[in-house]
């Protein structure tokens, strides 16, 4: 039975609660592990690069942290939700469950830890003296665009992963490459050709990170045109992915 709106939300919430409980079960430090990783990354990358690639960037630690947190969110959320259908094979074959609800609840789990990390980022901003400006009000909009992007990727990947079990490996490799092709620990090189610059700019995560740095670190208001174009770009990706998902999901259970 396809559930109504209220029931759909209930399902996403309940799966979210179940997955949260499963994540922190049996671990000693529990939730802390989830937060620890990006800050360890921050420490390592800062020590490695602050004197070289990071030279000349004011508050490099915050510059870095913004890149790390966004990338972490994207890569963890997509990697986790990729498996959300195949891991629930048994229950999907025995009772009706809306597949998107399962994918959304996986993403939500990672989103919650992202929110906690943002709070800590806020702490860094205060401690480093950067503080906040009213431009920070643009930030939720950037997060929304990021969520749309993550949902778009997850919807398609989770279905493909049922058809081809090695999608998970492919994605893992792509993410590793992506980490280096996204200006997380370095700025986009100034003296590169337009073509190479295009590679950076086509990567939506680059834009998200640049926007966030503008808003939070440099306290610059992003250009309306620029944001609007980017939002439209991600919206197109999102709409396309929903159409692909609609097609793929009809037969995905037969392949399980």
Binding site for another protein (CB under 8 A): 1-3, 6-7, 10-11, 13-15, 17-18, 21-22, 25-26, 90-97, 164-167, 170, 250-251, 253-254
Nearer to another protein, 86 or 205 (CB): 86
For 32, phi then psi, to 5°, come to -60, -35
Nearer to another protein, 2 or 55 (CB): 2
Smallest distance, another protein to C-beta of residue 86, A: 12
Residues in the chain: 256
Smallest distance, another protein to C-beta of residue 162, A: 10
Nearer to another protein, 11 or 45 (CB): 11
Smallest distance, another protein to C-beta of residue 179, A: 22
Q: What is the DSSP string of the chain?
A: ----HHHHHHHHHHHHHHHHHHHHTT-SSTHHHHHHHHHHHHHHHHHHHTTTTTTT-TTHHHHHHHHHHHHHHHHHHHHHHHTTTGGGHHHHHHS---HHHHHHHHHHHHHHHHHHHHHHHHHHHHHTT----GGGGGHHHHHHHHHHHHHHHHHHHHHHHHH-TTHHHHHHHHHHHHHHHS-SSSPPPSS--HHHHHHHHHSHHHHHHHHHIIIIIS--PPPHHHHHHHHHHHHHHHHHHHHHHHHHHHHHGGG-
Nearer to another protein, 70 or 99 (CB): 99
Question: Are 214 and 139 a contacting pair, CB within 8 Å?
Answer: no
Tell me how crowded residue 126 is: count the other CB atoms within 10 A of its CB: 11
Nearer to another protein, 22 or 199 (CB): 22
Smallest distance, another protein to C-beta of residue 81, A: 17
Smallest distance, another protein to C-beta of residue 137, A: 33
Smallest distance, another protein to C-beta of residue 36, A: 23
Would residue 55 be called left, alpha or beta, if left means φ above 0 and alpha means ψ between -120 and 50 degrees? beta
Smallest distance, another protein to C-beta of residue 148, A: 26
Nearer to another protein, 4 or 193 (CB): 4
Nearer to another protein, 147 or 167 (CB): 167
């Amino acid at each position: 039975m396809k559930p109504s709106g209220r029931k759909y939300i209930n399902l996403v919430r309940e799966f979210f609660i179940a997955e949260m409980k499963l994540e922190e079960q049996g671990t000693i430090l529990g939730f802390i592990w989830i937060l620890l990783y990006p800050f360890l990354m921050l420490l390592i990358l800062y020590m490695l690069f602050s004197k070289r690639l990071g030279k000349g960037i004011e508050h490099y630690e915050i510059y870095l942290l913004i890149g790390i947190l966004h990338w972490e969110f994207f890569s963890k959320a997509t990697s986790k939700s990729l498996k959300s259908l195949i891991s629930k094979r048994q229950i999907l074959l025995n009772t009706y469950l809306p597949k998107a609800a399962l994918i959304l609840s996986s993403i939500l789990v990672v989103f919650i830890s992202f929110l906690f990390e943002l709070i800590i980022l806020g702490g860094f901003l205060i401690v480093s003296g950067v503080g906040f400006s009213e431009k920070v009000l643009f930030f939720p909009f950037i997060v929304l665009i990021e969520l749309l992007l993550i949902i778009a990727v997850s919807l398609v990947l989770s279905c493909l992963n049922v058809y081809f079990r090695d999608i998970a490996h492919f994605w893992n490799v792509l993410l590793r490459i992506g980490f280096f092709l996204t200006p997380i620990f370095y700025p986009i090189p100034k003296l590169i050709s337009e073509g190479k610059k295009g590679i950076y700019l086509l990567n939506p995560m680059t834009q998200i990170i640049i926007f966030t740095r503008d808003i939070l670190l440099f306290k610059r208001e992003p250009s309306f045109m620029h944001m609007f174009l980017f939002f439209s770009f991600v919206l197109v990706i999102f709409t396309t992915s929903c159409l692909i998902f609609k097609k793929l999901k009809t037969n995905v259970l037969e392949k399980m």
